Amino acid sequence: MISVVIPCLDHTRELGECLTALVAQKCSVDVEVIVVDSGHDPAVVEAVDACNSEAITCRVVRGESGLEPGLARDVGVDDARGSTIVFTDADCIPELGFLEAAVRAMASGHRMATGPVLDANPHWIPACDNLLQFVDFAPTRPAGPAQLAPGANLVIGRDDFLELGGFGPGFGEDARFCLRAASTEVGAPSFCPDLRIRHCGRTTLRALLAHHRSFGVARGRYGLLVTPLQRRLAAWAVMSVAVALKRYVYLVRRTLRWNPRRLGFVLIFTPVLFAGFFSWALGFRQGLRDG
């Protein structure tokens, strides 16, 4: 059995689309969907009840109010009955074949897998939001090892997940989880091109900038993929621009390598993308101080 775990807080409207996409799929194994409700919104129960089917059962697990995504996922796994756990988010729409791709990934021997994250909303703000955080998960990226995997698209065996101690508290929980797994027999996640989801993304510039600042705070606070030299240099306020520029160059290079047809979009919206990276850099500096 596969258990799909979905944390839900303030994404009730999108949750209905996510569940509809899941129950429309055919899968060669039994599937259960567990929505961890951290907002205590009656609409969550209504959305889940509306999407129950004979093929796929959906149910709600009530989490503590305002529970962080990582802890909400842990609560869902505790209640799961499947030997394989599939994580996605309430503001994501799994494409047809997503669940069967998860089955194939585990059957082929992968201990942990991830896949492409595409745009669910064609508007330029959510498209920029997705580029800023998911440039490494382009649909044209070939299969192979990946350093990290987003919690919105992650497949892993339940026993391995529990052995690794789950996600735990704090932002950046998926990155910390993957780095922890890489030092064990589970290893780094495998990128599987057929494991495709669509992500709605933030719809305002204010939300975009705040979200990516929080990413930067987590990276600095936990020292994720940060060398001692980078830590010293990034502590200088003047280096925030250089950090943002470095991340922008990385995005351009990744786009050229895996998704060159999007280069025009990247160039047109460079000011927005750079603003997102600069917000990340400011958060990174704050996280270094906090850490």
Q: pLDDT tens digit string along 67-84?
A: 899 999 999 999 999 999
Q: pLDDT tens digit string along 244-285?
A: 999 999 999 999 999 999 999 999 999 999 999 999 999 999
Determine what percent of the chain is predicted with pLDDT higher than 70. Answer: 100
The answer as to CATH 3.75.10.10 being correct for domain 2-199 is: no
pLDDT at 40: 86
| Model confidence at 22: pLDDT above 90 | yes
Determine what percent of the chain is predicted with pLDDT higher than 90. Answer: 80
Report the mean per-residue pLDDT for the chain: 93
| Model confidence at 233: pLDDT above 90 | no
Q: Which band of pLDDT confidence, cut at 50, 70 and 90, is reported for residue 41?
A: confident
Mean predicted confidence (pLDDT) in 180-201: 96
Cβ contact 87:73 at 8 Å = yes
Q: Which band of pLDDT confidence, cut at 50, 70 and 90, is reported for residue 48?
A: very high
| Model confidence at 230: pLDDT above 80 | no
Q: pLDDT tens digit string along 26-37?
A: 999 999 999 999
Domain ranges of the chain: 2-199, 205-290
pLDDT at 135: 96
| Model confidence at 241: pLDDT above 90 | yes
